[in-house]
């Protein structure tokens, strides 16, 4: 079979994107091949032991399989996967989306469209100015987000986007939590990892003359040591990292609590610590949800939906975060639940933000709604509710 020209044009576009450093992501979808449970393949650039590689994540109905190949082998691998039966391939770069589509007869077409807000159209400099954080901030280099010439590394493009999106969200809720004030807030970031968001938040506050005391809490001591070294190198006054478990964090006053992608009930521990410490602002992006799913008693009317494991999992995730939102309302917060940004190919990209509102009148209704929800699904316990109930 001769390769149709659109496939050549597509793979050339991939090569050019990799060469120019503008490659963000490639997705193979609309699978019509022989494998029963194959869904899609997503490719990203990763750096492993200092070498850039293409990471293929193959999504099956019940599992993901990851394989990493050298960039040079990547194109051959993409062609091989297309032959397996994927009817669409989408390449996302900093400024374009290029899509290869096959019809039922196997004929290919190629579409290419510029992305809105593309820096090359609006002027890179102006575009940078609109971001919450400038690309030349020193900590970005220290964390390996940018290179020696203040350019975002291709493999860190998603992280860069996440940092900026996080600050956009934070800016709105911070203004609501501290209206018309120049506060000196105590901020705690639970499960901060390397501290990408902790550094960004501290920098954002300091550039606005807000003299915050920001603390990152992280289980892994080597990450804490690295983050503390960088904080000193950058002269990041008021920013420190502590090794420890969220569960052991002492009850102490705090103003802003952050917990992004803390596993399972670690999110509940962090929320509880924030509420108990009197935080005015809580931001969390829950990670995996294991606690509620085994408790769900499927109501008869929901059986056609929830007999499917994938639906039950999604429902349990939604229930967990809805219970958290109701508990926060009962505790006197205005709550928002919305889509955040995900670095991995996963549906777990929800964010919960809560701003304390002394005048909130939601508590009584939220309590009734929570009781009804638990009754409907036969739920017995939820960690945040237990922790709050103990007070």
CB 50 within 8 A of CB 117: no
Q: Within 13 Å of residue 133, how many CA atoms lie on the same side as its CB?
A: 33
Shortest Cβ distance from residue 361 to ligand SAM (Å)? 33
Residue whose CB is less far from ligand SAM, 143 or 335: 143
Residue whose CB is less far from ligand SAM, 76 or 247: 247
The C-alpha angle 354, 165, 127, rounded to 5 degrees, equals 145
Shortest Cβ distance from residue 57 to ligand SAM (Å)? 16
Shortest Cβ distance from residue 94 to ligand SAM (Å)? 22
| Separation between Cα atoms, residue 357 and residue 192, nearest integer Å | 27
Shortest Cβ distance from residue 287 to ligand SAM (Å)? 6
- Residues near ligand SAM (CB under 6 A): 191-193, 196-197, 217-220, 245-247, 260-263, 266
Residue whose CB is less far from ligand SAM, 219 or 305: 219
Handedness of CA 317, 333, 384, 253 (dihedral sign): positive
**Could you tell me the end-to-end alpha-carbon distance of the chain, in angstroms, rounded to an integer?**
71
Residue whose CB is less far from ligand SAM, 197 or 212: 197
Residue whose CB is less far from ligand SAM, 239 or 330: 239
CB atoms within 10 A of CB 16: 14
Residue whose CB is less far from ligand SAM, 11 or 267: 267
Residue whose CB is less far from ligand SAM, 23 or 241: 241
Shortest Cβ distance from residue 259 to ligand SAM (Å)? 7
Of 44, 51, 85, 86, nearest to 66 by C-alpha is 44
Shortest Cβ distance from residue 323 to ligand SAM (Å)? 20
Shortest Cβ distance from residue 119 to ligand SAM (Å)? 24
């Amino acid at each position: 079979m001769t390769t149709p020209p659109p496939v050549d044009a597509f793979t050339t576009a991939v090569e050019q994107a990799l060469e120019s450093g503008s490659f963000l992501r490639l997705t193979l979808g609309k699978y019509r091949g022989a494998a029963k449970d194959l869904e899609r393949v997503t490719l990203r650039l990763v750096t492993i032991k200092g070498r850039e590689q293409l990471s293929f994540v193959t999504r099956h109905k019940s599992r993901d399989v990851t394989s990493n190949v050298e960039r040079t082998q990547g194109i051959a691998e993409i062609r091989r996967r297309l032959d397996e039966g994927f009817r669409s391939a989408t390449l996302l770069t900093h400024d374009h989306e290029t899509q290869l589509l096959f019809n039922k007869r196997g004929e290919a077409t190629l579409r290419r469209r510029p992305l809105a807000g593309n820096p090359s159209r609006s002027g890179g400099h102006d575009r940078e100015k609109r971001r919450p954080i400038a690309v030349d901030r020193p900590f970005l280099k220290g964390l390996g987000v940018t290179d020696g010439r203040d350019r975002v590394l291709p493999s860190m493009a998603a992280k860069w986007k996440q940092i900026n999106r996080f600050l956009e969200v934070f800016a709105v809720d911070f203004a609501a939590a501290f209206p018309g004030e120049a506060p000196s807030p105590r901020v705690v970031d639970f499960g901060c990892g390397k501290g990408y968001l902790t550094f960004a938040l501290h920098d954002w506050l300091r550039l606005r003359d807000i003299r915050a005391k920001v603390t990152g809490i992280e289980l892994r001591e080597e990450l804490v040591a690295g983050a503390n070294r960088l904080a000193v190198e950058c002269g990041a006054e008021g920013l420190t990292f502590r090794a420890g478990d969220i569960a052991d964090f002492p009850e102490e006053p705090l103003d802003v609590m952050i917990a992004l992608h803390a596993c399972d009930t670690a999110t509940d521990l962090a929320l509880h610590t924030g509420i108990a410490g009197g935080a005015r602002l809580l931001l969390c992006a829950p990670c995996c949800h294991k606690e509620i799913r085994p408790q769900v008693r499927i109501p008869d009317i929901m059986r056609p939906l929830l007999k499917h494991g994938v639906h039950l999992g999604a429902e349990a995730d939604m229930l967990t975060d809805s219970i958290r939102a109701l508990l926060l309302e009962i505790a006197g917060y205005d709550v928002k639940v919305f889509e955040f940004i995900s670095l991995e190919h996963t549906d777990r990209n929800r964010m919960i933000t809560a701003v304390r509102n002394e005048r909130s009148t939601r508590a009584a209704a939220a309590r009734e709604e929570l009781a009804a929800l638990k009754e409907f699904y036969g739920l017995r316990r939820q960690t945040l509710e237990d922790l709050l109930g103990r007070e």
